[in-house]
Structure 1
């Protein structure tokens, strides 16, 4: 039997087609996913966020709440509203202090000049958180002081907190 010279090429070409067909079929067949192995890793603890600063202590004393009060005073004192009593009252309310327990002095003198200092306070559990700022005060001040006669925190005329 005589072989033609093209026979090995036909076999090679045919073999190539078979290999391409097998590879194409293999590409369409889903590959098995390995089964996960069980691990005995310890559970990871979720980190608890730490507070970024002092917080209001509703059942605490005035002394317990002085850090938050002082932070609010210092924050407002560092702004352009540092000579406005309302800015301190609003910031203290935003921090959780009760507006109904607050007092503030006037920002202006009786002749319309800026006050040398302004005071503001929060009556808290029989004591007072008192702040003072202004040109005559070297730095913002925050203190715990006793109530004054009349069960208030500030002496003298204060302005109504009616906003």
Structure 2
């Protein structure tokens, strides 16, 4: 007897489920069907996208071994700026080491002392690189308003800085 009662319940569940799907399908079809009959596709203008030129990034400055001081100033500045970013309290040796690591010739460099004759920190440290008979001169410290650089002619002494400089013996 239990089997007889289960059959109509299964049948009515199937009928109900089928009816739900039928109503759902018809309602969806009604949303997409056009009442005006078959439609003829109308051409729509296509937007032509012209790629805009991307701005090329300026190449990072690089050492120009055969170039003069003016051509190498951007690279000199980039090296020192990076050294100062890594250590804002960099001293003379740090500048020279950074320039040597970047390819400048240590034999053509000069640097002033990090301290005064009384042992106090120098208000400004100057450093230079002789490149093909011209000078790249940098200066950093509170009295110079931060890092500054300039291209200058080689002095008659064959050096770039006037006055006493520190021996670069490391």
> Deviating runs (4+, > 2 A) in structure 1?
77-83
Whether 1:96 aligns to 2:103 is: yes
- Alpha-carbon contact 1:77-1:133 (below 8 Å) kept: no
Does 2:81 align with 1:69?
no
Query: Once superposed, what is the RMSD of the aligned Cα atoms?
Result: 1.6
Equivalent residue runs for 1:23-42 within 5 Å: none
Post-superposition shift, 1:80?
A: 3.0
| Residue in structure 2 matching 1:140, options 113, 136, 147 | 147
Between Structure 1 and Structure 2, how many residues are aligned?
A: 114
Distance 2:87 2:65 in 1: 30
Q: Counterparts of 1:74 and 1:141 in 2: how far apart (Å)?
A: 10
1:1-163 alignment to 2 at 5 Å? 53-80=60-87, 82-163=89-170
Task: Give, in angstroms, the shift of residue 137 of structure 1.
Answer: 1.3
CA drift of 1:155 comes to 0.3
Deviations 1:108-158 (A, max 9, x none): 001100001000000111110000001101121121111123111000000
Q: TM-score, normalised by structure 2?
A: 0.63
TM-score (norm 1): 0.66
Ranges in structure 1 where 5+ consecutive residues have no aligned partner: 1-49
- Provide structure 2 residue ranges, at least 5 long, that are not aligned to the other structure: 1-56
Give the helix-richer structure, 1 or 2.
2
